[in-house]
Structure 1
Amino acid sequence: MINIIFGLLCTKAFAESTIMGTIQTFDGTPVSQAYIYVFDARSKYQYTRSDSAGSFSVDVAQGAYRILIAPTPFDNLVPVFYPNEQSYCDGERIFGGDTIDVVLEEGKIISGTLESPNGEPIASALIETQDDVSPVDRVAQTDSDGKFIIQGLPSNHNLGWRCYIEAPGYPEQYIGATYEEDLALRVEDGDIGIHQLKEGIFLSGVVEGPQGVIPDAEVFGYSGSQVVGGKTQEDGTFFLQGLPPGEALVWSSAAGHATTYAPNFDRPTEFFPLLEEGSEKSDFSVQLPEETILNISLVDDGPILGASVLLYNDNNTVGRGNPVDDAGVATIDRLHKGTYFLQIYAENDGYFNEWYENEEGNIPIILNENLNITIDREPASKLTGIILDDQENPVYGADILMSNGVDVQRARSDKDGSYTVWGLYEDTWEFSVSYTPLCPNDRSYVTMYYPNSPTASESMMIDQREQEHNIILPIDDDHDEMSDTWEDENGLNSAYNDAQEDPDQDGISNLEEYRSQSNPTQEKTSQCGCQSNSASFVIPILLLAWRRRE
């Protein structure tokens, strides 16, 4: 019986159907090359594009979807969520097998010109409109004369748009001569004229090592929350531009050398104030010592594959990490000599995410030369299972939360309802499964606790390397934390939130009645606060069969 049921579940979870449709303008002209984004209930998406006839099709698994149609930047057509909405949640839910027809309206247009501070046109700049309404930020690129045209802006939007700019050699900024989003000028549709960009600051200098100048070294600059990068020339010199004024920081990295912050530090230490537009500091000298290399082998009975490590300096201001290779060895190079601490990430390989430590705390790794270390890991336990609703459909995107009072572990169910919680110690754990819908009109489910109850009453004992627990989440489309089926069976309204109502006027709310599994329409008469004819809590036969397997 169980095998038959699981076969049916797999068929339900992975059965595919097709959403098809056409996209056209109000006059019936097909819209080709439009992007069609198909969002599932957890906001993950796939996309396709319309053909020359404006048609599209996309294969989807079971479930509800919202469709975003985004014309190309070359079309003056407004992006919408089907059928004609700017908001994700206002979009209509579509299911496999549906066919939709989309009509796009013409939008507003913003045009203008970008110039440098000395009046030269800026070509190849990207301009992006931003607002708090549109589902897609519309973009354009300046031509050789610095001119741009942004199309497809919604006609019912009257608050103006911020225009964000990325231009080669200039700091990221907004029209209105500001680096701050909150201070950006909100422009209306039409021609907004000529706008000059702020030029930012300029950083230059030389990168050297023990053997002299270092060509082709990577160099980075930071200021005003922005970062730019470049490389040194054959003579070791570099030039960086495109940063806003601020406290500037420069660092460099090169093969065989330790990553170093100007002038010769192993961590961000010295910042240089360049607070005016056009400011320049041209005498940076970054001195890179030879690198120190740390090789970390993670082992159990053999090498642990798939793990990764992150190495921090002694005040956690710099972290360097890498995954292990096919031999289970993680190599971290370009290090300064010094003291480090190591964090290991190996949960998905059946181990713990934890610091390299002992009973006394984190174990310092002292690097005075290249070093190889081997670290033995203890396997962790994991919990797997399947989450279904009370109609025996897989629940996709349910959040599993486990806590033993010290550690907290989380997981989320896949499209087939399956989940895995990794990195569990052998201990007693609180276990709950909840679901948070993205939109007020989306399907939701009652939060459930171990073993399968709407109230937290028992803890789960993890005492094996691999354990299984399956659970049923009752459908709760009115988002009141009560099963819709239970509400219908007990004379309540499953179409709106009536959790705090008390139809039998016994001082016990509907939600409390549900959690105690008493009758919400019959006043309690027994001293124990319960009743002899209370509605039973319906657990599908499927769940009982699962529990016998555990």
Structure 2
Amino acid sequence: MVPRELRDLSIIGIIDLGDVRLREGRLVTGTVQDPLGNPVVSADIDLRDVVTGEKIVTPGDNTNSSGQFSVFSPDGQMEIEVDPIQGSSLVPALSVIVVPNTGLDVGIILLPEGVAVSGTVVGDSGNIVPGTDLDFIISSTGIEIPTAHDNANSSGNFSVQVVPDTYDIAFRPSFLSGFAPRVLPSVEVIGNTDLGVVEVFSGSAFTGTVIAGPDPVIDCEIVLTDSITGAEVYMFGNDTDALGVFAVRQLPGVYDLLITPPIGSGLNEYVETGIDLTTDLNRAIDLLGAPPVTPPEPVQDLTCCCPGGVVIQWELGNTDYDLIQIQRQGVFLTNLAGDTLLFNDMNAPLESLTYQVIAVRSSLTSAPVLCTLDNSPVTPPAPVENLFCEQLQPEPTVQLTWVNDPAGYDSIQIFK
């Protein structure tokens, strides 16, 4: 049987998942090699159902010392992606296979040699923007190529292997960073290419909920076009989740909005012109055409405190929230009762953390409120060195001398 992952479940209480059906597994095997015929070790194998878009869970899906892999897949049309390990000069390979009910040996998959596109991502105030994701889109066709290890590191630096071509390179900072995406068009890559410092700019937050009457609408696509030029702007993560919620950033300006519901929903598209994003905006939009509904006000006076034992506190923006949702690093953490004023994150990782607090009322969400703190481990100071005790006259005077650590101290305590 093939494992299955249920994504974007809305869990705000006891939930019955009903029957979760696992599909019969068909053995898919193959060998990954470089252009010289050498085995590619520890390459990662990913499968995705072409029809449904579902990512297939494939435990133990790395190539062995001979470059061979063996995974179970449902039968049908699958997209197979092979990613080399971090630091490799090879480029990922992406292809479509048809898995019969007897299984499939895909034979040899060759990973081509690539060239490195590198640089550093910074914000418009000069600060680094770690974690920024890069996408490479072939300029002549608009096709996005698969890339591996394509996020900027903690210093904002990136180095991505691609085959030579001309690309539109999209830089995608996380929503939590406060920066809008940026696209560098028609970048010619014929060898190792250093883009230098790439600046991304502060963006307005456009958040909200898409509903049809009382029900949230999942998988709606949110599209913005420039009201002046009519050009569609680059966006990512612009689909509604299981609560009908969306959250994107874009450069401040005025845009036209198009919301496209999923095929088969029976719902009509929603069009609105002149959306003012010169400042942050939170909206609730009913695809059944009902008058605009008012989402809840966000929580007030949010604070994050106390590295090592993170405590988040806030005041209520409204008194009638149904629940309050906490997210950490953009990932759902927990739901709390609507009158809660405090949350203690007992399992906070030891790193820099950003929390979002979102109020929910009648299936509508408030604008997220963010707070950040550094929960990294605190390194204790080095001890003093060359401690020397000398008795002076007249007794009982004792003189202590020592050498301080070059990093210095806030204070020094002496005990007897």
TM-score between the two structures when normalised by the length of structure 1: 0.34
Comparing both chains, which one has the higher relative contact order based on Cα–Cα distances under 8 Å and sequence gaps of 6 or more? 2
- Structure (1/2) with the larger helix percentage: 1
Larger strand proportion, structure 1 or 2?
2
